[in-house]
A and B are shown apart, each in its own frame.
Chain A
Amino acid sequence: MNNCISINNLDKVFSSKDSGSVHVFEDLNLLFPMGKITSILGPSGCGKTTLLNLLAGLAKPTRGTIVFPESCQLSVGYMMQEDLLLPWRTLKENAQLGAEVTKNKSTLQGKELKKNFTDFDLAKTMNNYPDAASGGMKQRTALIRTLFYSPKILLLDEPFSNLDFETKLKIQEYLLKYQFEKKATIILVTHDIQDAVALSDKVIILSKRPTRVKKIIDIKLSIHKRNFATAYKSNDFKKYFLEIWNEISTKL
């Protein structure tokens, strides 16, 4: 248990004046293994983003606890659904924001940043302002910003939603490389079953509100996961895909 982020008896209540209080979770218990990629799937409104907000410390649970392993330094990188780029900074300056705040001098070097932008196919546009960038460019910049200050725990809220297939594959490969090199823990919220199967070690499927865990599926793709082309074509991929598909569609 020591090597997991554990969520115990979690409950979150949002109270508003007109609509009364909304229970998002009902006694939610979850484990996120360190150094692994865990995906969270679930119908919209089930509290996936709320869960990430709680993990990032932006909100406090109404009841229950979230325990991080003692060993891990609490460096959490959270990429939110919105890109939240500052309009008065160029894409490059936006990507530096996190590193500026954490004063992570080693990562502040321009060369490394430039390499990141090249890897993400953004080298030509890195000095543009966000209003001159497409949704996909902004999303990639937001991801660079999150990765650039080297967090050990990554919370990603639909990070690929604005990307075309080719770019998405590239970014996913990059993300896997990052995770492998830094032994990072990634918690990924997504709507895309394929992304979940291709990337994760573990998929958590949540139910409708009040949210509980519907099913946990361990993904063990026999082929080496770092090669997407073979992973996508394998029979196991289809098996996992269908398993998740059935689980989600029965509720529809």
Chain B
Amino acid sequence: MPIYRVLPLSFLLLLWEIAVRLNNKWIFFFGMPSKIETYFVIKMLNGTLPVDFAITFFEAATGFIMGNLFGILLGITLWQSRNIFLIARPYIIALGSAPIFALAPLFIIWFGTGIFSKIMIATFSTFFVALFQAHTGASEVKDEYISLMQTFGATKNQIFRKIIAPSSIVWVVSAFRMNVSFAILGAFIGEFISSNKGLGHLILVASGLFDISLVLCGIFMLMLMALIFNYIISISEAPLKKIVVKYL
């Protein structure tokens, strides 16, 4: 089956290559697959592309982990008290829907132009999705399950471990999936605004030079990164559920 998955891509690349070769002017607008490949090989060999990729990956991954961790923790804390959640909700919605592109310059000012500010932007971008998913997951639990636990005389802690955590894990994993693109976007925007390394920097410089093939090379690397993230999540989903169900 994997062989058939490659077919549409190969066909598209071939068509693209032929079209640009027939119309030389188009290379300015669309780049050319063979040129993207040349950039890829050169930059891999001279080591700049792996470094850019690794930096962006590190920023996105660290932000992803921190954003999800803190988001889930706060989401569950807010689930404990309905009143506090109702007070906090408008603030969370306001902060969570503020465009990250507008906030990013502030993060650069607060946390500097290095890697740390990008990590913080990625953390901020993923935090709210994780918070809402964890909170919704915990709130969606059937009241009857909680009643059942109460008839056993279960403590709030036991109810959380045996009912809330296992039933909201599905929501949390779907937060992970959504947050892949938010984490990469956060890291990218940070680099795009101010940096001297990373894929965001590469794309910014290349687009300034109107080098479309290099821009596309960077974009493909970002797509690759998203695929890697998704793959890691999909293989860790089952063990994670198992841990929560069996050992909590």
Any chain A CB within 8 A of the CB of B162? Answer: yes
Per the CB 8 Å criterion, the residue count for chain B at the interface is 18
Please give the residue numbers on chain A whose beta carbons come within 8 Å of chain B beta carbons, in ascending order: 56-58, 76-78, 80, 82, 84, 86, 88-89, 97-98, 100-102, 149
Cross-chain contact A101 with B154 (CB below 8 angstroms) = yes
> A54 to nearest B CB, angstroms?
12
Q: Given that A86-B166, A88-B166, A88-B245 are known contacts, is A101 also in contact with B144, CB under 8 Å in the complex?
A: no
Contacting residues of chain B (29-55) with chain A, CB-CB under 8 angstroms? none
Any chain A CB within 8 A of the CB of B77? Answer: no
The CA-CA distance from A101 to B162 in the complex, in Å, is 9
Residues on B with C-beta less than 8 A from A58 are 147, 150-151
Q: Which residue of B lies closest to A82 (CB)?
A: B144
Partner of B153, one of A80, A88, A97, A102: A102
Any chain A CB within 8 A of the CB of B4? Answer: no
The CA-CA distance from A246 to B152 in the complex, in Å, is 38
Please give the residue numbers on chain B whose beta carbons come within 8 Å of chain A beta carbons, in ascending order: 142, 144-145, 147-154, 158, 162-163, 166-167, 241, 245
The CA-CA distance from A88 to B166 in the complex, in Å, is 8
Cross-chain contact B158 with A101 (CB below 8 angstroms) = yes
The CA-CA distance from A81 to B241 in the complex, in Å, is 29
> B242 to nearest A CB, angstroms?
10
> B145 to nearest A CB, angstroms?
6
Which 4 residue pairs of A and B lie closest in terms of their CB atoms, listed nearest first?
Answer: A101-B152, A78-B151, A101-B154, A98-B152
Residues on A with C-beta less than 8 A from B154 are 101
Most chain B CB within 10 A, of A57, A77, A101, A102, is at A101
Partner of B148, one of A57, A80, A100: A80
> A90 to nearest B CB, angstroms?
10
